[in-house]
Amino acid sequence: MHCIMHSIPASSIDVGGSVPGQPELLPRSLEDSFRSISFSKSLDHSVDFSSARFSEIGALREDDEDGKVRPLILKNKPPRWHEQLQCWCLNFRGRVTVASVKNFQLIAATQPAAGAPTPSQPAPPEHDKIILQFGKVGKDMFTMDYRYPLSAFQAFAICLSSFDTKLACE
């Protein structure tokens, strides 16, 4: 899953980053934030993505070197191989209790820059933080956890849209 948040600049997840329009509502650090913030001001950078590939989206605004205007792009956190279970797993820290194709965790997709870590090097920890997680906890019961810079409405919309392609999978 890839989500492009045009109303949230990519720089908002960096230390000291802000969202245009309401800097007074920002937490002192990203660690302190799991609350919803409404965004009164949105950036309109409308682009037709119907034929664009995800890899091309980051190149649309080449004039933006510092990433201040680039939208926040969320991607699935890659699972890790669990040797004992012999399967791919995500760590939901006890918040998700039932295995399901509908379970997911989203992290910020970082744009490669000069001096950026290669795939063999670890990514910066601030960009590996889970911004949204959604998972099954019982029959027809799910849980959603989100953090800044997403609002409750944005997080719920992303989770709801994930059902569109997965209704008949289980």
Per-residue pLDDT tens for 7-32? 788 887 877 776 666 555 545 554 45
> CA dihedral defined by 167, 98, 106, 16, rounded to 10 degrees?
140
- Peptide bond between residue 112 and the one before it cis (omega within 30 degrees of 0): no
Predicted pLDDT at 42: 45
Please calculate the CA angle 107-109-111 and round it to the nearest 5 degrees. Answer: 155
Predicted pLDDT at 1: 76
Residue ranges for the chain with pLDDT beneath 50: 26, 30-31, 33-52, 54, 57-58, 61-63, 67, 113-116
* Domain ranges within the chain, ordered by starting residue: 2-113+124-165
